[in-house]
Structure 1
Amino acid sequence: MSKKPKSKASLYLSLGTTLFGTVSVARRLKDARREGDTLQLADAIVSAASIITGVALLARELRRLSEDGSDILGD
């Protein structure tokens, strides 16, 4: 299955939203632990797992781009 490579703008946007999501989830984890709210804690953990998966996908995309000889960060 052939997949269209991501554009630089798309990759930057993905990195930015992942960073924002990481800060948000960290805050939710802290608040849930402080309040002792098990349901909010579970929700934050699932969100954290989603972010980890997203970072792994971005890392794979960066690796593929570097293997192809594309200079994703050079401009």
Structure 2
Amino acid sequence: MSTLNKYKGFRKSRPGLYLAIGSSLFGVVGIVKQVQLARRETDRLKLLDAVVSGAAVLTNAAILVRELRRLDIDDVLADD
């Protein structure tokens, strides 16, 4: 089994999804700093950029949570 195939399998596993959710939400720290800086400078364009970036991070986290729920549903069905 190649390293690439092992990585693909890890991405679809429960620990892989938890790691992806955690790293995605870790990006929120940078976005909060970006929003604070934009507000201090009263720069609307930077603020808009931070808001759009925040929406992208939250959307990514929501997709990963959905995948985690699907994984849980598949596990329950597999136990029968």
Equivalent of 1:30, from 36, 48, 66? Answer: 36
Structure with larger Rg: 2
Find out whether 1:17 has 2:27 as its counterpart: no
- Quote how far apart the aligned CAs of 1:6 are: 1.2
Q: Which residue of 2 aligns with 1:59?
A: 65
Q: How big is the shift at 1:14?
A: 1.4
**Deviation for aligned residue 1:8:** 4.1
Q: How far off its partner does 1:32 sit?
A: 0.6
For residues 22-72 of structure 1, give each alpha carbon's deviation from its aligned partner in whole angstroms, at most 9, with x where no partner exists.
1110110111111101111010000011011111101101110110117xx
TM-score, length-scaled by structure 1: 0.74
* Per-residue Cα deviation, 1:2-33 (whole angstroms, up to 9, x for no partner): xx871345324412321221111011011111
Equivalent pairs: percent with the same residue?
48
Cα RMSD, aligned residues only: 1.9
**Structure 2 unmatched ranges of 5 or more:** 1-8
Richer in helix (by share): 2
User: Normalization by structure 2: what TM-score?
Assistant: 0.70
Aligned residues: 67
- Residue identity matched to 2:73: E
Q: Which amino acid aligns with 1:55?
A: A
